[in-house]
Structure 1
Amino acid sequence: MPRSIVTKVARATLRSLQISRNTRISYTPFAAVSVLPRATVPRFYSTAGPGGNIITPDKQPAQPKEDAAPSVVGAATELTDDQYHKLADQYMDRLVTHLEELQDERDDIDVEYSAGVLTVSFDDGIGTYVINKQPPNKQIWLSSPKSGPKRYDYVALGDGQNEKEGTAKGEWVYLRDKSTINQLFRDELQIDLSMPVGNYGEEEA
């Protein structure tokens, strides 16, 4: 708007208000007034959903990652040579004792243990099982006429100091399928090595 028009409008306004000419009034021409932009108020957006879950760019709550299910059987227990021989000999002795007692009860089983090698033969066409220690690998090896060869490592089941010393309770485990020697005899031959031989008839009855 031209300055002259602004001046006329201002004077007319003064006269209408009957303001004295001696009153000093300062005014700012419209052209000198700058329009300031509207103040911008920062807005904060929560990235949390109703349940406190993190919101992803597609506005869907991010699901927490599920922890992997723990393994049923852990890794092989580290053993010294002395610990290995002690544990392996104890197991082999129990195995031989059990099978020899079973041999006395049944006519179809032939058990032989010589030079650290145990052979268990069955006359009804099942075949021969061979079990022996394998010191270089700290394992017990077993050859089955049904399922083939397997290598068993000692896995401690306890915890604390006994486990560190390799003397905790444990099992000889085939780590590929987590099975034990006892399970193999039970599944393939229906022989429960944890049960006294005299109890087989009672269990069947």
Structure 2
Amino acid sequence: MTRTALTKLTRAASRTLRNPIPQRSSVLLATSKPAPAAIFAPRKLFKTSSASRRGIMPDTDDPQPKPHPQEEVKTSVAELTDAEYHDLADAYLDTVVTKLEEIQDAREGVDVEFAAGVLTVTFPAAGTYVINKQPPNKQIWLSSPITGPKRYDYVIVGDSQNEKEGTAAGAWVYGRDGSTLDDLFLKELDVDLSIAPSTYGEDQA
């Protein structure tokens, strides 16, 4: 081996010893970089919206239920003869007098007087009431210390299309508000005229 060839071989071996690890290629460096984290846009899982109230038909909004028709109670002032008026008025006043006299016997301070078709009754907590027949008008008149004077007509309630014939009932009714004379006694004096006079004050259970 010539001296020149030996010198080249020595230099090559020397370079190999100085650089024992080869450099990584740019391909390896590129693949060794960590991949960037994927970015996901937040997704709405639920969607809320205002409730839409619509009817069955597309052109109706918020339909209201149809009200059930209520049967109208038929009332009318009875056309009474003089005899019928006196019979009805006398029978009613007799019931009222009997009831009030029983209360007079049971309560102190209650005073009842009935003469010539005029009933005067005094309750300590309320005052004096005057009830009397008014034949020219076929009415019963009442004067209350609480609600003032009232005129009551005999009114027939019933005999509508859905009721049996002959089942109508009558009552003495104040035309301005439709209340009955029985209602006034119950509201102002706590006297229930629907209870038979002989059982008034007893346990109705």
TM range (shorter): 0.5 to 0.7
Residue aligning to 1:192: 192
Cα shift at 1:106: 1.2
Residue aligning to 1:135: 135
Partners of 2:158 and 2:87 in 1: CA distance: 17
- Cα deviations across residues 160-187 of structure 1 (Å, max 9, x unaligned)? 8758xxxx53100001111001100111
CA 1:201–1:147 in 2, change beyond 3 Å: closer, same or farther?
same
- TM-score w.r.t. structure 1 length? 0.58
- TM-score w.r.t. structure 2 length? 0.58
What number of residue pairs does the alignment pair up? 145
Residue aligning to 1:83: 84
Question: Is contact 2:75-2:158 (8 Å) kept?
Answer: no
Question: Is contact 2:89-2:133 (8 Å) kept?
Answer: yes
Cα shift at 1:104: 1.2
**Residue type matched to 1:112 in 2?**
E
**Residue type matched to 1:181 in 2?**
L
- Cα deviations across residues 79-126 of structure 1 (Å, max 9, x unaligned)? 11111111111111111111111111111210000010001111x241
**Residue type matched to 2:108 in 1?**
D
**Residue type matched to 1:95 in 2?**
V
Partners of 1:73 and 1:101 in 2: CA distance: 35
Q: Which has the larger radius of gyration?
A: 2
- Cα deviations across residues 39-84 of structure 1 (Å, max 9, x unaligned)? xxxxxxxxxxxx9xxxxxxx99xxxxx9x97654622111111111
CA 1:199–1:80 in 2, change beyond 3 Å: closer, same or farther?
closer
Over the matched positions of the two proteins, sequence identity in percent amounts to 57
Question: Is contact 1:102-1:197 (8 Å) kept?
Answer: no
Cα shift at 1:200: 2.6
Partners of 2:96 and 2:154 in 1: CA distance: 15
Question: Is contact 2:141-2:152 (8 Å) kept?
Answer: yes
- 3-state DSSP class of the match of 1:202? coil
The equivalences for 1:1-80 within 5 A come to 72=73, 74-80=75-81
Unpaired runs of 5+ residues, structure 1, are 1-50, 52-58, 61-65
Say what the alpha-carbon RMSD is for the aligned residues: 3.3
Residue aligning to 1:101: 102
Cα shift at 1:157: 2.7
Residue aligning to 1:115: 116
**Residue type matched to 1:77 in 2?**
A
Unpaired runs of 5+ residues, structure 2, are 1-56, 61-66
CA 1:125–1:134 in 2, change beyond 3 Å: closer, same or farther?
same
Residue aligning to 2:169: 169
CA 1:161–1:177 in 2, change beyond 3 Å: closer, same or farther?
same
